Amino acid sequence: MPDLGASIVPPHRILYEDLVRRALAEDLGRAGDLTTDAIVSPADTVAALLIARSAGRIAGLEIAASAFRLLDPGVGIEFHSADGRDAGPGEILAKVHGPARPILSAERTVLNLLARLCGIATSTRDIARVIAAYPCKVVCTRKTTPGLRALEKYAVRAGGGANHRFGLDDGILIKDNHRAIAGSVTEAVRRARQYAGHMVKIEVEVDTLEQLEEALRLGIDAVLLDNMPLPALAEAVRLARGRVITEASGGVTPQNAAQIAATGVDLLSAGWITHSAPALDVALDIAL
C-alpha cells in the first residue's frame, strides 16, 4: 500500500485551530507553565526535533505543530515528513526552533494530538493493507472522541481508509432500535423516506438474511450487515450485489479483514480504529 503523502488534504485550520487553542488552555490552566517560566528565561532560544520513536503512519503533523505557533508566532517549524506517509522508528518528523518557553509549554499538547492521530492512521493503514487485493474499503464510524471527530476522521483518511457519517445529519442509518420502535424494516424505511429530502441516502442495518431480503425490496441505498458469520455474510453479499452498497460491521481486525473482504463486501466498518487505536510513540527532543 503506497504512502498517501502526495494526495492527502489536511483540514482547513478553521476546523482545528479553536480545538488546539482549547487544548493549550486546558494545559496552561490558571497560572501558566510554572516549571518552564521558573527555569527558562524569556530570552532563551532552542532547537528541538519532533521524532517518531516507533514506526507508523503520520497524521495530524501540521495540526499538532500549530500549537507551537499559537503560543508564539515566532516559533519556526521545518517539516521533514507529511501526513499520509509512513515513518520509521527514530525518524525526524519536524524541526522546531525559536523561543524556548512556548516550545516547551506546547510540547505535551503537540504530542498528545500527534500520537492520537498517528495511532488512528496506523491502525487504519494496517487494515487497508490486508484488504488491498479486494475492491473494498475500510471505513470509520461515529465512535470518536468527543470534540475530535473531524480530526480523527481525517486521520482515517491519512491511513488509507474512508469516512462513514460525520454526524446524525448527513445520512439516515436505520439501526436495530429504530427498527424495533417502528415495528419492521418496511415501516422504518417508509417513515424515513417520507421525512428525508431527495439528497439524503438511506442505509438499513440488518442481522439476518430475512431482514436483508425485506430491505432489498424497498429501494434503499445501502445495507449494514451486522455481525454476520462469514457464510451468511457471503450469501448476503450475493443477494445484494448490484442492488445496494454492502457494509460489513462487527469485530473487523487486521487478522480477519481479508476473510471478510473476500466475501465481496464493499465496505468494512471498524469503530475501534477511532475509539481504541493505540497511540503512536512520538517525542520532542532538544537538539544539543
Dihedral angle over CA of 127, 163, 233, 180, nearest 10: 140
pLDDT, averaged across the chain: 96
| CA geometry: angle 18, 19, 22, nearest 5 deg | 85
**241 in a domain, yes or no?**
yes
Same domain, 197 and 162: yes
User: Residue 65: pLDDT band by 50, 70, 90 thresholds?
Assistant: very high
pLDDT for 130 equals 97
User: Which amino acid would we find at residue 49?
Assistant: L
Q: Is pLDDT of 5 > 70?
A: no
User: Residue 53: pLDDT band by 50, 70, 90 thresholds?
Assistant: very high
CATH label of the domain that carries residue 170: 3.20.20.70
Q: Quote the cell numbers at residue 39.
A: 527555569
Same domain, 217 and 237: yes
pLDDT digits (tens, 9 = 90+) for 169-203: 999 999 999 999 999 999 999 999 999 999 999 99
Same domain, 225 and 145: yes
User: Average pLDDT, stretch 206-219?
Assistant: 96
**223 in a domain, yes or no?**
yes
pLDDT for 6 equals 57
pLDDT for 94 equals 98
Domains in the chain, number: 2
Same domain, 31 and 135: no
**2 in a domain, yes or no?**
no
CATH label of the domain that carries residue 78: 3.90.1170.20
Q: In what order do the strands lie in the sheet with 76-79?
A: 76-79, 91-99, 45-52, 282-286
Same domain, 109 and 135: no
How far, in Å, CA of 239 to CA of 85, rounded? 38
Same domain, 178 and 237: yes
pLDDT digits (tens, 9 = 90+) for 7-28: 788 899 999 999 999 999 999 9
pLDDT for 4 equals 76
Q: Is pLDDT of 237 > 60?
A: yes
Same domain, 110 and 140: no
Instruction: List the one residue out of 175, 109, 179 whose CA is nearest residue 142.
Output: 175
Q: Which residues constitute the domain of residue 106?
A: 13-120+277-286
Same domain, 153 and 262: yes
Same domain, 55 and 80: yes
**5 in a domain, yes or no?**
no
**125 in a domain, yes or no?**
no
pLDDT for 110 equals 98
Same domain, 68 and 152: no
State the catalytic residues: 108, 143, 175, 205, 226
User: Average pLDDT, stretch 71-98?
Assistant: 98
**3 in a domain, yes or no?**
no
Q: Is pLDDT of 246 > 60?
A: yes
Q: Is pLDDT of 34 > 70?
A: yes
Same domain, 147 and 236: yes
Same domain, 157 and 215: yes
